[in-house]
Structures are given as C-alpha cells and as structure tokens.
Structure 1
Amino acid sequence: MLERYFLRPATVDRIRANFAGAYIEHYVGWLRAQGYADRNVFRRVPILCQFGEFASTRGAIDGQTALDHVEAFAQHWVAIHGKSCRSDAARAKVAHDARNPVRQMLELALHGSVGRHRQRKPFPFEAEAPGFAGYLRDERGLKADTVERHAFYLNGLSAFLDSAGAASLASVSPPLLAAFLVERCVGLARTSRRDLCGTLRIFLRYCHRERLVERDLSAVVEVPRVHRLANVPRGITWEEVRDMLSCVDRRCALGRRDYAMLLLLVTYGLRGIEVAQLTLEDIDWQHERLNVPQRKAGHWSAYPLASVVGEAIIDYLKNGRPQTTDRHVFFRSMAPWRPITSAAVSSAAVRYLQRAGVRVHRAGAHTLRHTCVQRLVDAQFSLKTIGDYVGHRSAQSTKIYTKVDVAALREVAMGNGEVL
C-alpha cells in the first residue's frame, strides 16, 4: 500500500523500518478504504514516523505502551511547529493535528477500528451513586440519548460542587442547590431550565431512596412551569419549502443526500434521529413502503413510499452513497465514511433554510416536521390521524398545532380592526 503513495523505494524502506512502520502501513490502507484524499496521507505519514521515533526513544515497545506517549508527543510537536501561533486556539489546533492521526493509527492497530473504542467517561456521581444510570435505563425505561442528557446536567452539578468545596453528596444543601440553579440557568431556554430541574429532582429522589443522603431534597428544587401551548409551532409555508428544496444542488453527492433527507423530513414529518437511523432494510421497494422502526414513542410506523422520495433516495444510492458494507442509508459526505448523525441532519435543514432566506425561530429538522403536521392540520385531518402519522405518543402533542389559525390572525392583523 505504501508503494502507491511513495515512489522511491528508500522512502518506503525508511517508513517500514520505523518502530511504528507496520502500524503506519495498516493505517494508510484504512485511510484509502475510508475515502481520504491523497494529500491527507502525505500530511499524516511524516507525523506518524516522527511519533514512532519519539515513542521508541521513550521506551515504547508496542502499540499499547505507545499510547502513554501520545499527549507528550503532541506537546513536543507544538513546541516545534507552534512557535508562530499567536493564540491558545491556534496552538490547540496544531496539537490536535498531531494527536488525531496518532490516536487513529493506534486505535486501528489495537482494536481493528477507529472511533468506537474511546474510553467511556464515567457517569456523574458514579462513585457515590453507582446505580443511577441503570435506574434511568431499566426502571424508568429511558433511551440512551435521554440518559446522556441527564448525565450532561449532572456533570454541571458535579463541577459546581467541586468548585464550592462540597466533598460528597451528603454535603449538598438547599442553599448549594439554589446557588447552582441561579448560576446554571442563566441563558437557558425555559424548556432547558425545566429539564435541568427535572433531572435534579429525579437524582435527589433516587439518592434518598437508596439512603445515600439523609434528607429528600427533591422538593427543594421547583420545576419552572412551561405551558404546552405557550409557543406558536415553528413551521413554514409550502412555498418556502419549495424555495428551500430549489436551493439544493443535486449535481453532487452532498446535494443528492441532503435533498433525499429534506424530502423525508417534510413529507413524513420524521425526526432527525429517525432519518439518521434509517437502514436499507427499512425501505421495502417491492411493496413501495417505508418503515420507521424504534420511534420515540416506542413503536414503529409504515408509510407508502412517495415516488418523489423514492426517486431521490435511488439517485443518492446510485450516485452519492459511498461503497460500504454498513447498512445505514445516509453517510457523511467526507471521509471517514460513517453514518450521518441527527445533528448533521438538522444542520442540513438549517443550511438550506438560510440559503432560501427563510427566517424561522430555532431552525432545524423539527421545522420541517412542524411544517408537515401543520399541512395535515390545514387539510382537516383528525388529530388522531395526524398523531399516528408523525408518531406522537399522546394527542396532547398534536393539539399545539390547532391552537392558532395563523392565516386568520394574519387577516385580522392586516385589517382595519373593526368587528362586524
């Protein structure tokens, strides 16, 4: 594989003679298989060779022991190549550019894959409340994403207690909790404040139940009231949808992928995570049906596959999707070839909404989901039908779209204000 990039035999021999030579050659093959450009190989191999020499002089004998020297090598690299950097951010980028290929090479050598064997961060308060994560998953039945959101809020609490000098959960008091909420809630949306307080209440109630603290402090945390019908749905008009779709350049692989994803969002009202998790098995071409398994409400849905959506997916599968054994439908447009994430789906929606000049509060994948629901409401479908179509667990989730007749309110606002 090295001969494909380096024509001089002496160069190939020098790389293979390096302490990390076998690892480097394996890594170069992985880069090519993942679709990395040749310039990435030419830029990374010299870094890896210097790391091999650096780790060898420090006593590394294999890939496992070489892991201990990655951070030291990154700092060594910055000392040499970061002299002209004028900011900490620039120096951090230089360190990342040296650290990232080394870590990828060692992960590939030790585990056979990249990006799936990073050390898991411990769950907040795992030492004092070791069963809380399991309680969220098993007793409350929360999905992994929701458990991670609880962990995010508790990480903030853990950092605050450390800064306040609180040695353990037993030292948590109402004044400490009040100070944490005052500091943490600054700049948060109402729903985020509600979720933060809800997480604290669940955690404090669990700690008291398990006798980790003497007093149940959950009642001290008051959850702010958030009215379900307080906000207007953030949908857009169908004309704006057409303007957004017309901004997609379907001549390239990225455009073909994004066009298919946008159609799925606005046609079926799917969530971003549901688009990201679609697999080839979920598309039943023979019966012209689209299956959406493992929805938020714990069920699955089946839709007739609209011809325009099917054609867009076929165009992407034939002319845009990378050659891979992974069964997900949508992939990153740049190497390494990995399934797209829900955040990337939402980012694509934001990008094309901005290109079309569509202004909407909190633009994202849910903007198109709301647009789909609002269109069904305008077509006078029943709430039950609409809720089933978009995968709502409760009819209360659908009622928000019936509270305002935006068109009628617009006529009133533009009129003379007289009541007949």
Structure 2
Amino acid sequence: MPKPIAQDAQGQVQAWIILQRDLEKAPNTVAAYARGITDFTSFCRERGIDPLDVSKSTIAAYLGDLRARPPGGGREGRADDESSPSTSPSNASLRHRLTIVRLFYDHLVEEGLRTTNPVPRGRRGVARHRGERGLVPVHRPLPWIPSEAQWRAVLDAARTDPVRNRLMLALAYDCALRREELCALEASDIDPAHRLVTIRAETTKTKVGRVVPYSAVTGDLLAAYLRERRALGRARGRLFLSTSPRNRGRPIGKWTWSKVVRALGHRADAPRLGTHTMRHLCLTDLARVGWDIHEIAQFAGHRSVQSTLLYIHLSARDLSAKFAATAAELHKARLAVIAGVAR
C-alpha cells in the first residue's frame, strides 16, 4: 500500500504552488504546475520515497514512468505494453513535466531544504562535452509551411468567412503575429493613416514591443471590419469582438481563434494549418525576397537571430533554385573527377 507523503513535503508542494500564484503567473500555468508536481509526488508516494529526498535515479525512474503512458495519460492511464512504443508522449511533453519538477527543486534549494537539484539541466557548448546534458533531448522539427497551392486553398476557403476572421488571418500573416499578440490587439494599436500596427511589449512572448506595417488589402479589410465593430460596441478596447449571442461585444480569446483556424484548415484540406502557420510563412517569405536575418528578427520581435533561424523554412524548391543560380557550377567542378568527367 502506498505510503502517505510526508507532511513537510506536502506543505512544501502547497507552498510552491501558492508562490507561483503570488508571482502572478498565468492561471493556466499555475494549474499546469500544480498538476505536474502533484503527479510527481504521487509517483514518489507509490514507491515510498520522500519527495524532499529524491535522487537523480528517482527522476530517471519517473521519466520511464512518463514514457510508459499514452499521450495525455495520467498516472492511472499508464501503458505497460512495451510493444506499443508509438503511444509514448512526445519529447516536448516529457521536457515540460521535468521542467515543472526542476523548478520545484530549485525552490527547495533556495529555501535551504536541499543542497542540489536532482533534475539535471541541459547545457550548451563545452558543458555538453562534460556530460552536463538534460535527460530528454531537444527535437526541433521543421515548421510546416504551406505550398502556394495549399495557401491559395486556405485563402479560397476563407473568402466566405466573416470579415473579422479574414482580417485576423490577414494581420497574422502581414505582421507575423503570434496568437496571443493578435487577440490582444486594441483599436488604439492600429494606425490606419500609415498602415502600421503597434505590438505592445506586455502582449509579447519576449516582452519586446515593435511596430510593423500591413498591406493595402489588409487595410481594406480593416475598414470593413471597423464598420461592423461599431455595431458591437463603441469602446476602444480590444479590436476583435465576439458576435455570438452569448458573448456579443466581448473580446474574443485565443482559443476562439484557434477554433477558427482549425475549421479553416479542415475546409481547405490543410489539416496542419495552425495559428502559428501565418507567422512562419511571413518570415519565410521575407527571407525569400532577400531580407537580412537581422531585419527579419526585428520584424518578428525576436531577441536573438538564432530564434529567427528556427522560424525560417525555405522549401526544397526555393533552395534548389538558389543552388542552381549560385553554387551548381562550383559543386560540379569539385565533384567532376568521381563522376568520370574529364576536367
């Protein structure tokens, strides 16, 4: 029978969760931290381990327990059948769970209840050669970028959408907006006279504000939407308002926009379309037309060009055309001998 969690450990868990709330973390973040650390302490209780006195081996065992579960599965949903590796959760999910545990033990170290953190941090550069690696490797798959035909299908499917949704799609692409940035736009952030959008620092992931332009097409959609918006409410506030009978005139949330994009992708036969696709496509298009990487980083609101490089995904056709125009003859000359071609 599982041993109860020591009272001291349970108190520290509750204190840490309260601390996250008092630090004004987003409610969803606090809830995720609470679920994650509660799951870990349940794992410890099943094995009779005091959560205040775990070792790296306990963390490794917990990681194995997580891998044995189906995606999204709780402790009651573990999959013990090793013949079904395809049901394992993603590396991103595993890293998220371990990050929660690591933050909890950072707190314990700061409080003087432990001297070390049992969850190893992944390090870059020289430190990685010293064996200082994270328990779960980072996988960075290429972002999905729609082809010209796929993007045209998305636009064709959007033609019948309300003008608000079409404007949001256009702004998301024109300005490379994150979902949160788009939904947080206020009417006062728009400068129609100069076709500029101000993305306020407090609405961004990196807390870096920026001002970016939008196209004439988007300007026409904006003018049409503002006429509709005046019927929903005269207050400046949020730009995008709900038209549903239940929430009429209230700002729409990021999940509403996610549902709109998901439905649009379904109608366009582009199931991989997401709210971030327009941002990826915009930054890639800027690279296609010759923008400097630093200019693209500033446009995107990235602190580092390394982040920008992860977003830019030139298609095989783009790279093939550039290769043919700039490097094909050089490569041919260097490899001529092994092909039996006389130099």
- Calculate the TM-score normalised by the size of structure 1: 0.57
CA contact (8 A) 2:98 2:119 kept: no
Specify every segment of 5 or more residues in structure 1 that has no aligned partner in the other structure, as ranges: 1-123, 138-142, 413-417
- Give SS of 2:14's match: coil
| Distance change in 2, residues 1:130/1:193 (3 Å) | closer
Structure 2 distance, partners of 1:259, 1:232, is 27
Task: Determine the structure 2 residue equivalent to 1:87.
Answer: none
> C-alpha root-mean-square deviation of aligned residues, in Å?
3.4
- Give SS of 1:345's match: helix
Structure 2 distance, partners of 1:410, 1:195, is 37
- Give SS of 2:35's match: helix
Over residues 357-399 of structure 1, what are the superposed CA-to-partner deviations in whole Å (9 max), with x where a residue is unaligned? 1253xx3111111111111111121111111112122100112
Structure 1 distance, partners of 2:100, 2:13, is 15
Structure 2 distance, partners of 1:184, 1:157, is 13
Structure 1 distance, partners of 2:318, 2:216, is 33
Structure 1 distance, partners of 2:238, 2:291, is 33
Task: Determine the structure 2 residue equivalent to 1:332.
Answer: 242
Pick one of 118, 141, 152 that aligns with 1:217.
118
Task: Determine the structure 1 residue equivalent to 2:6.
Answer: none
Per-residue deviation at 1:409? 6.5
Task: Determine the structure 2 residue equivalent to 1:192.
Answer: 93
Per-residue deviation at 1:407? 0.8
CA contact (8 A) 1:373 1:401 kept: yes
Over residues 128-174 of structure 1, what are the superposed CA-to-partner deviations in whole Å (9 max), with x where a residue is unaligned? 43674279x4xxxxx844x8436414423314424653697425555
Which structure would you say has the larger Rg?
1
Q: Are residues 1:352 and 2:232 paired?
A: no
Q: Kindly, what percent of the aligned residue pairs are identical? A: 22
**Aligned AA (2:282):** C
Q: Are residues 1:303 and 2:212 paired?
A: yes
Per-residue deviation at 1:402? 5.5
CA contact (8 A) 1:279 1:327 kept: yes
- Give SS of 1:339's match: coil
Which range moved further: 164-173 or 342-351?
Answer: 164-173
Structure 2 distance, partners of 1:339, 1:396, is 34
CA contact (8 A) 2:174 2:214 kept: no
**Aligned AA (2:66):** R
Structure 1 distance, partners of 2:220, 2:170, is 11
Per-residue deviation at 1:333? 3.3
Task: Determine the structure 2 residue equivalent to 1:232.
Answer: 142
| Distance change in 2, residues 1:355/1:284 (3 Å) | same
- Give SS of 2:16's match: coil
Task: Determine the structure 2 residue equivalent to 1:385.
Answer: 295
Task: Determine the structure 1 residue equivalent to 2:309.
Answer: 399
Structure 1 distance, partners of 2:177, 2:270, is 20
Pick one of 54, 59, 63 that aligns with 1:177.
59
Specify every segment of 5 or more residues in structure 2 that has no aligned partner in the other structure, as ranges: 1-10, 72-88, 123-133, 324-331, 337-343
